[in-house]
Amino acid sequence: MDFQQAREVLNQFDWSAAIDVLLIAGAIFAAFRLLSRTRAITLLRGALGLILVLVILGLALDLTAINWILANGLVALIVGAAVIFQPEIRRGLDLLGRTGIQDLLAHDPTDDTIDAVAEAATRMARERHGALIVFERETGLQDVVETGVPVDARVSAELIEGIFFPNSPLHDMATVVRGARVVAASCELPLADEVRGNVRRLGTRHRAAAGITEQTDALSVVVSEETGEISLCQSGRLERVARGGLLAQELHRRMARNADGPQGDHVELERMTNE
| Residue 42 banded pLDDT, cuts 50, 70, 90 | low
39-48, 152-161, 162-171, 203-212: which has the minimum mean pLDDT? 39-48
Q: Which domains does the chain have, with CATH numbers?
A: 3-104 (no CATH), 106-273 (3.40.1700.10)
Q: Among 35-44, 75-84, 187-196, 260-269, which range has the highest average pLDDT?
A: 187-196
Q: With a threshold of 0.75, does the pTM exceed it? A: no
Lowest mean pLDDT among 4-8, 63-67, 95-99, 157-161: 95-99
pLDDT at position 262 is: 47
What pLDDT is stored for residue 9 in this prediction? 63
Mean pLDDT of 245-253: 84
- pLDDT at residue 260 above 70? no
Rounded CA gap, 44 and 31, in Å?
A: 12
- Name the residue with higher pLDDT: 138 or 174: 174
At residue 266, the pLDDT reads 45
Supply the pLDDT for residue 269: 47
Q: What is the DSSP track for the chain?
A: --HHHHHHHHHT--HHHHHHHHHHHHHHHHHHHHHTTSTHHHHHHHHHHHHHHHHHHHHHHT-HHHHHHHHH-HHHHHHHHHHHTHHHHHHHHHHHHHS-HHHHH--SPPHHHHHHHHHHHHHHHHHT--EEEEE--SS--HHHHTTSEEEEEE--HHHHHHHTSTT-TT-SSEEEEETTEEEEEEE--PPPSS-EES-SS--HHHHHHHHHHHHSS-EEEEE-TTT--EEEEETTEEEEESSHHHHHHHHHHHHSTT---HHHHHHHHHHHHT-
For residue 78, pLDDT beyond 60: yes
Q: What is the separation of C-alpha 118 from the centre of its chain, rounded to a whole number of angstroms?
A: 19
